Homo-oligomer: A and B are copies of this chain.
Amino acid sequence: MTDDELLAAALGGAPGAAGEAGAAAAGGESHDGERRRRGGRAAHERSRLPPQRPWNQPRIPYRPVEVLSEDEIESIHVASLRVLSEIGMDFLDEGARNVLREAGADVRPDSQRVRFDPAMVEERIRTAPSTFTLHGPNPAHDIVMGGDWTAFGTVGSAPNVADLDRGRRVGNREDYQNLVRLFHMLNSVHFFAGYAVEPIDIHASVRHLYAIYDVVTLADKPFHAYSLGRQRNLDALEMARIVRGVDEATLDREPSIFTVINSSSPLRLDTPMLHGILEYSARNQVICMTPFTLAGAMAPVTLAGALAEQNAEALAGMTLTQVVRPGAPVIYGGFTSNVDMQSGAPAFGTPEYMRTAMIGGQLARRYNVPYRSSNVSASNAVDAQAAYESVFSLWGAIMGGVNMLMHGSGWMEGGLHASYEKVILDAELLGMVEAFLDPVVVDEDTLAFEAMQEVGPGGHFFGAQHTQARYRTAFHKPMLSDWRNYEAWQEAGSPEAPIRANRIWKEMLAAYEPPPMDPARREELDAFVARRVEEGGVPTDY
């Protein structure tokens, strides 16, 4: 498609059309009659969709695991301050260096190096808020960051996409839109963590406009904008403002966009990332400051050393946010994992990852800011490895007190592809985690003495009144798990989990309906995107 065709698709009937495309690819029908009937599908049709918990932002009621003692956490803190003071960190943008120099950092002429006095860091980061709300297009889907709140995001930034039918292929807008639709429908996914897959068939100059257009028209959950230069940041923010229907002053009070700032570890922050902090912190938007510290590659091979480096880089970024605007929302991001020392391949969901995820939480709480971790896997297939690496990651993240879980659903192959089947697998895992976070009610009613008396030794509880009154909602209902007995499962063709996931995402896409949107806002949004596309978006040299 040309950009003009893309624009037409985006502003015209894109959701419906692309929805059919997805359903067709999924083996559904795509002629117009079918499409119209779909609009009229009612509860009995939708009831074929897999069971889901209602949308809800969960809280973690359990005390986070403390892998390190307070003294050990303090040692990492002190070591990272020493790194920032004695080694320093390269800030590749002169504007950012100037801001820091004026704030008291040690910045010398003709050098990108910035050194921080420990006292400056400690004082500056103190103004970072412990809790704030990230607002989405639909206020019912706003999420709280901080405290015992947690929220689960989509896969972000995969260059490739895969499903069982079509295999692995380069990212494109059709798949991007279909994944946005799925995430809109999946209640255990609370926010968009970047482009689930990179829509490379949209020219880079206007990609952000179309991709954000899709995320705010096909879905209504809080979202991420990539920090790839000031103009893109401003475009994303304006689109967030339009879809929320608020004015600039409200936007300034209410964080409505977040951006992940990755340091180029070790100890470097590049220009687009620094512009992201300068731009968004000034506008009170959310910075998720995440060093990418793979132990043995971009960080020391020892976990303590990798964490000291992670912490130094996180503190440097956090300091800049608070220098730009005291009180600006910032999240402490942990992404320390290890590599295979034979091949250099990054590994995820490892025992090293679990512990650094938990220690990252300890450090974030040390600074009283929200904590970001991730659901990760290095697996190439949606197999047992994909599942165990993901659940081990979740174990590390959840028991580490994660507030913002990036890549919660769909992340495969160390981030190199997004998978439709993994989206469903992860939605199952996230739903189970949500249920795990539900309180166990202990009271006279639930202790069920009378039921035990009624049933007595050797009886069974199926028919007991206590059971009958509760069985429909007593237990978490799985979306993907197959609990049929072996014979019934075999008769059904012995479907393994990815086959079942494949069926589920197709059924969901076939039933997709876009969220409602205020017509005036839609008009304003369409006009904004049309104008910015006409202006050529953001000049690129590629």
Interface positions of A (Cβ within 8 A of B): 62-63, 65-68, 72, 75-76, 79, 82-83, 86-90, 113, 168, 264, 266-268, 295-305, 308-309, 338-341, 343-347, 350-352, 354-355, 359, 378-392, 395, 399, 413, 416-417, 425, 428-429, 432-436, 438, 440-443, 445-449, 451-453, 455-462, 464, 466-467, 470-472, 474-476, 478, 480-486, 489-490, 494, 496-498
Nearest CB in chain B: distance from A494 CB, A: 7
Tell me the bound Cα distance from A480 to B76 in angstroms. 33
**Quick check: A459 and B266 within 8 Å, CB to CB?**
yes
A163 → chain B, closest Cβ, in Å?
Answer: 15
In the complex, are the beta carbons of A359 and B440 less than 8 A apart? yes
A197 to B484, CA, bound (A): 21
A347-B483, A384-B387, A483-B345 known; A83 and B471 CB under 8 Å?
no
The answer to whether residues A302 and B76 also contact, given A399-B65, A498-B384 and a CB cut-off of 8 A, is: no
Most buried by B among A68, A89, A432: A432
Q: Which residues of B contact A390 (CB under 8 A)?
A: 388
Q: Is the CB of B87 within 8 A of A301?
A: no
Q: Is the CB of B399 within 8 A of A498?
A: no
CA distance A413 to B168 in the complex (A): 31
Interface contact B389-A481, CB-CB below 8 Å:
yes
Distance (whole angstroms) from the CB of A50 to the closest CB of chain B: 14
Q: Which of B75, B428, B460 contacts A447 (CB 8 A)?
A: B75
The chain B residue with its CB closest to the CB of A448 is: B305
A296-B451 Cα distance, complex, nearest whole Å: 11
- Write the nearest CB–CB distance from A38 to chain B, whole angstroms: 28
Please list 17 pairs of residues, one from A and one from B, whose beta carbons are closer than 8 Å in the complex, sorted by A's number.
Answer: A68-B440, A76-B447, A86-B449, A89-B457, A90-B458, A296-B471, A300-B467, A301-B471, A308-B449, A338-B474, A341-B474, A341-B475, A343-B483, A378-B481, A385-B480, A387-B387, A417-B486
Interface centre among A345, A384, A475, A481 (most CB of B within 10 A): A384
How far, in angstroms, from A305 to B466 measured CA to CA in the complex? 10
Report which of B168, B388, B428, B449 forms a contact with A79, defined as CB distance below 8 A. Answer: B449
Q: Is there contact, CB below 8 Å, between A458 and B268?
A: yes
Assuming the contacts A302-B448, A388-B387, A481-B385, asked whether A352 and B476 have C-beta atoms less than 8 A apart, the reply is yes
A264 and B458 within 8 A (CB): yes
Question: Which residues of B are found within 8 Å of A476, using beta-carbon distances?
Answer: 350-352
Tell me if B87 and A475 are in contact (CB < 8 A).
no
Within the assembled complex, what's the spacing in Å between the Cα atoms of A352 and B391? 16
B345–A384 CB distance below 8 A = no
With a cutoff of 8 Å between Cβ atoms, the chain B residues found around residue A481 in the complex are: 347, 378-379, 385, 389
Q: Tell me the complex Cα distance, A83–B135, Å.
A: 50
Q: Is B380 a contact of A489 with CB atoms below 8 Å?
A: yes
Which residue of B354, B432, B456 is within 8 Å of A267 (Cβ)?
Answer: B456
Among all A-B residue pairs, the 7 with the closest Cβ atoms = A305-B448, A351-B435, A300-B448, A387-B387, A391-B391, A384-B387, A304-B446
